Amino acid sequence: MGVIRQYFPLCWFNVSVFDLPRSTRFFKHNAIFYFIAVFFIQFNMSDDIDTIFEVLLETGLTLTFIALVLWLNQTFHLYVQVASAILFCENVVALFLIPIVFWVTVAEDAPSYAMLALFLLWDMAIIARIFKDVLQINTPASLVVSLVYFLTTYGGAYGIYSLAGV
């Protein structure tokens, strides 16, 4: 519980990734929760058991993207902290997104889509802040990295899955 208290301010932009503890156990728990949360959201939208493969691909792309960026920046030694931070923040946002996704699929009205967009922008801003700290880049560059992250992980998983024809 103490590690969660240390990571939670990251979602509100109140702490740097460098100030967070390195815990492989926390990383593993976040990775499992991330898979479950994304699966729950994806399964709600498609009702297809093949969603498991798409979520596995998405989770793999997420962890690979983080590893690749850190390796290229020569800061791979921060992988556990950065991956934990990103997964934790994605999990916090997902807890808010789950009821909103239900609302969107049922209502399909402008306020539900606006709320969904607001939370996705929050998620993107959190990821941008994490990359800004770790890569030591300016805000516009971190927003670009965050956008590439989302396109690679979510769009890439959908694209690869669609191309595979599964």
Each residue of 115-138: pLDDT tens digit? 989 999 999 999 999 999 999 999
* Segment of 36-40, 48-52, 71-75, 153-157 carrying the highest mean pLDDT: 71-75
Per-residue model confidence (pLDDT) at position 28: 96
When pLDDT is averaged across residues 110-116 and rounded to a whole number, the result is 89
Q: What is the pLDDT of residue 148?
A: 96
What is the rounded average pLDDT for all residues in the chain?
90
| pLDDT for residue 165 | 64
Q: Give per-residue burial for 41-79: e unless 16+ CB within 10 Å, then b.
A: bbeeeeeeeebeebbebbbebbbebbeebbeeeeeeebb
Q: Is the pLDDT of residue 71 over 60?
A: yes
Q: Which range scores top for mean pLDDT: 38-42, 85-89, 157-161?
A: 85-89
Half-sphere exposure of 46 (CA within 13 A, CB side): 15
4/109 Cα distance (integer angstroms): 35
pLDDT at 6 over 90: yes
Helix axes 51-72, 24-46, angle to 10 degrees: 140
Most distant pair of Cα atoms in the chain: their distance:
46
Confidence check: pLDDT of 144 > 80: yes
Average pLDDT over residues 141-155: 94
